[in-house]
C-alpha cells in the first residue's frame, strides 16, 4: 500500500488558505509552473497535436489543407489562430467515429453529450486519455479541498454523460471513498448522505438544492450530516446559489467546468480561494475570442472560450468553439497555482439551455412540433424554476379548435406531444395546448424562449 501522500506527485506547499487549511496541490510541477515554461510546454504540445491530428484524422487533414496550413507552419502559440475553428455541427457530421485518430480497438470508453438534436456528440477515450482525464479531475478535486479521506456521493446521472464517471475517476485517483448513487430518487439521496456519513457531494448546483430542500422536508438538518464540501458543475451557478448551498447543506461550495467535446469535467475548477476556475492549461489550451469578429480578446475581457486539446490521443480537437462566454486572467492565484483562471460562464453565444444537466436546443423542440400535424407551427418554451430546479413548459396551439371541448382527446394529444419531446430531449417537459392563433407572432426574429426564472 502506498503511503497517503504518495498518491500526490508532489509535496504540498506550506500555505494556509483563506479557510486556514493547508492547501494541497495535486501536481505542483505543472499547476505552479512559471508562465514562460508553461508556454514553452504548450507550444511543444501544440505542434505535436496539430501534426498528429493532420496525420491521423482525415477531417483535420482536409480542414488544414483547405486553408493551406501545414503543421510545420505552427511556430509560435499565436499561430494557433491560423487553424480554422471546429464547431459542434462538424462533430455531429462526423458521428459516430470519424473524428477518432486511432483504430476503434484502442478506444476503451465512449461518452456522449446529452440531448443534442438527432445525433449526440461522441467522445472516444484511449487508456492514455483516461490518465489525462483522471489527473485533470483529481487536480480540480484537490484544488476544491477534496482529500483522500472524503466519502463522496456522486449524484450526477451515470451513463453516457461525462459528469458522473469523470468525477468518479478523479476521486478514485486521489483515493477517496466513492459512493456512485447517480441522480434521482432524492429521498434516498438524503438517506445515503446521512447514513454513509458522506463528506463531499458532486452534482449540478440545482440538484444539490433539490437535495437540500428534500432533506429539509424530511427533517434532516445539516448538523445531522457530515457534509463539508460541494463540487458543482455542468451548469451555471451564481454566488447566491453557492451561499444558499453553504447555508442549507453546510458545504464549502465550489464550481467546475468542462464539456464532452474536450474531455468532460476536468477542464477547469475553483480552488479554495474561489477566485475563478483554474484551467488545466497543459492539457487544454484556452483562447478568448470576440464571437462577432473573431479577434482575440485581451486578458480579463469577456468573449467566447475556444479550446484545443493539447494531449488527447483518441479524439484530438483543434480550436473548438465552446459558445460559452467567459474571461481569463493569467495572474497567479493566492493559492500558489499559476494556471490561467476563467470566470463563471456568463452565458452562451447560442440558444442552448441547460435544464437539470441536459443540453436543450429550442430547435430540437421545434423539430418535434413541426413534425406533428395536430399542432400549429408556433410555440413558446417557458423556462421555470421550482425550488432550485429548472423545468420546461412548452406552449403550442392545437390545429383543431374543436378538440378543446373534448377532454379525453385533448389529453391524448398532450401526452403525444410530451412523449415525442421526451424521446428527443431525454427530459420530461410540461405541455400546454392553446387555442389556435393565440400565441404571440413575431415580425422579426422570433423569441421562442420565455425565461420566467428571475435569475
Residue numbers of the site for ligand DLL (CB under 6 A)? 113-114, 162-163, 233-236, 255-260, 264-265, 322, 324, 345, 348, 354, 359
Q: Which is nearer to ligand DLL, 50 or 164 (CB)?
A: 164
Looking at beta carbons, which residue is closest to ligand DLL? 233
Cβ density class 83-112: b for 16+ within 10 Å, e for less: beebebebbbebeeeebbbbeeebbebebb
> What is the closest distance, in whole angstroms, from the C-beta atom of residue 197 to ligand DLL in the complex?
24
Q: Which is nearer to ligand DLL, 32 or 144 (CB)?
A: 144
> What is the closest distance, in whole angstroms, from the C-beta atom of residue 394 to ligand DLL in the complex?
22
> What is the closest distance, in whole angstroms, from the C-beta atom of residue 107 to ligand DLL in the complex?
18
> What is the closest distance, in whole angstroms, from the C-beta atom of residue 401 to ligand DLL in the complex?
40
> What is the closest distance, in whole angstroms, from the C-beta atom of residue 154 to ligand DLL in the complex?
10
Beta strands in 90-207 (DSSP E): 107-112, 122-126, 151-154, 177-179, 200-203
Q: Which is nearer to ligand DLL, 134 or 359 (CB)?
A: 359
3-state SS assignment for residue 256:
strand
Nearest to 208 by CA among 238, 177, 241, 172: 241
Nearest-Å Rg of the Cα atoms of the chain is 23
Q: Which is nearer to ligand DLL, 357 or 376 (CB)?
A: 357
- The DSSP symbol for 42 reads H
Q: Give strand pairing partners of 16.
A: 22
Q: Which is nearer to ligand DLL, 132 or 431 (CB)?
A: 132
C-alpha span between 433 and 414 (Å, rounded): 7
Q: Which long-range contacts (CB under 8 A, 24 or more apart) does 439-446 make?
A: 439/376, 439/378, 439/379, 439/380, 439/395, 439/396, 439/397, 440/378, 440/380, 441/378
> What is the closest distance, in whole angstroms, from the C-beta atom of residue 244 to ligand DLL in the complex?
17
Q: Give strand pairing partners of 22.
A: 16
Amino acid at each position: 500500500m502506498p503511503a497517503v501522500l504518495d498518491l500526490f506527485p508532489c509535496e504540498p506547499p506550506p500555505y494556509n488558505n483563506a479557510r486556514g487549511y493547508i492547501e494541497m496541490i495535486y501536481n505542483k510541477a505543472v499547476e505552479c509552473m512559471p508562465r514562460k515554461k508553461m508556454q514553452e510546454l504548450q507550444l511543444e504540445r501544440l505542434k505535436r497535436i496539430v501534426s498528429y491530428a493532420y496525420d491521423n484524422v482525415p477531417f483535420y487533414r482536409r480542414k488544414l489543407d483547405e486553408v493551406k496550413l501545414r503543421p510545420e507552419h505552427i511556430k509560435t502559440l499565436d499561430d494557433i489562430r491560423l487553424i480554422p475553428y471546429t464547431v459542434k455541427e462538424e462533430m455531429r457530421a462526423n458521428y459516430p467515429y470519424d473524428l477518432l485518430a486511432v483504430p476503434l480497438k484502442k478506444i476503451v470508453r465512449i461518452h456522449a453529450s446529452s440531448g443534442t438534436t438527432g445525433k449526440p456528440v461522441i467522445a472516444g477515450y484511449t487508456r492514455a486519455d483516461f490518465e489525462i482525464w483522471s489527473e485533470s479531475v483529481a487536480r480540480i478535486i484537490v484544488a476544491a479541498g477534496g482529500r483522500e479521506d472524503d466519502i463522496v456521493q456522486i449524484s450526477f446521472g451515470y451513463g453516457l454523460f461525462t459528469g458522473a464517471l469523470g468525477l468518479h475517476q478523479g476521486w478514485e485517483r486521489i483515493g477517496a471513498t466513492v459512493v456512485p448513487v447517480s441522480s434521482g430518487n432524492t429521498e434516498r439521496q438524503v438517506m445515503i448522505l446521512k447514513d454513509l456519513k458522506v463528506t463531499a457531494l458532486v452534482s449540478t448546483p440545482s440538484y444539490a438544492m433539490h437535495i437540500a430542500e428534500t432533506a429539509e422536508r424530511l427533517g434532516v438538518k445539516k448538523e445531522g450530516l457530515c457534509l463539508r464540501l460541494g463540487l458543482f458543475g455542468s451548469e451555471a451557478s451564481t454566488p447566491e446559489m453557492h451561499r444558499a448551498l453553504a447555508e442549507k447543506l453546510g458545504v464549502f461550495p465550489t464550481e467546475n467546468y468542462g464539456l464532452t467535446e474536450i474531455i468532460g469535467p476536468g477542464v477547469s475548477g475553483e480552488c479554495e480561494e474561489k477566485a475563478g476556475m483554474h484551467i488545466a492549461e497543459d492539457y487544454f489550451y484556452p483562447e478568448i475570442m470576440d464571437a462577432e469578429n473573431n479577434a482575440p480578446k485581451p486578458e480579463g475581457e469577456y468573449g467566447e472560450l475556444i479550446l484545443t486539446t493539447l494531449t488527447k490521443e483518441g479524439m484530438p480537437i483543434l480550436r473548438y468553439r465552446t459558445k460559452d462566454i467567459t474571461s481569463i486572467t493569467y495572474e497567479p492565484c493566492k493559492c500558489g497555482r499559476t494556471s490561467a483562471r476563467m470566470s463563471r460562464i456568463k452565458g452562451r453565444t447560442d440558444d442552448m439551455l441547460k435544464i437539470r444537466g441536459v443540453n436543450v436546443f429550442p430547435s430540437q423542440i421545434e423539430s418535434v412540433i413541426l413534425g406533428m400535424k395536430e399542432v400549429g407551427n408556433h410555440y413558446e418554451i417557458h423556462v421555470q424554476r421550482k425550488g432550485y430546479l429548472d423545468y420546461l413548459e412548452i406552449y403550442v396551439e392545437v390545429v383543431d379548435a374543436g378538440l378543446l371541448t373534448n377532454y379525453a382527446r385533448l389529453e391524448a394529444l398532450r401526452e403525444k406531444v410530451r412523449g415525442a419531446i421526451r424521446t428527443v430531449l431525454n427530459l420530461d417537459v410540461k405541455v400546454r395546448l392553446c387555442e389556435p392563433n393565440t400565441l404571440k407572432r413575431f415580425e422579426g426574429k422570433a423569441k421562442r424562449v420565455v425565461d420566467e426564472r428571475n435569475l
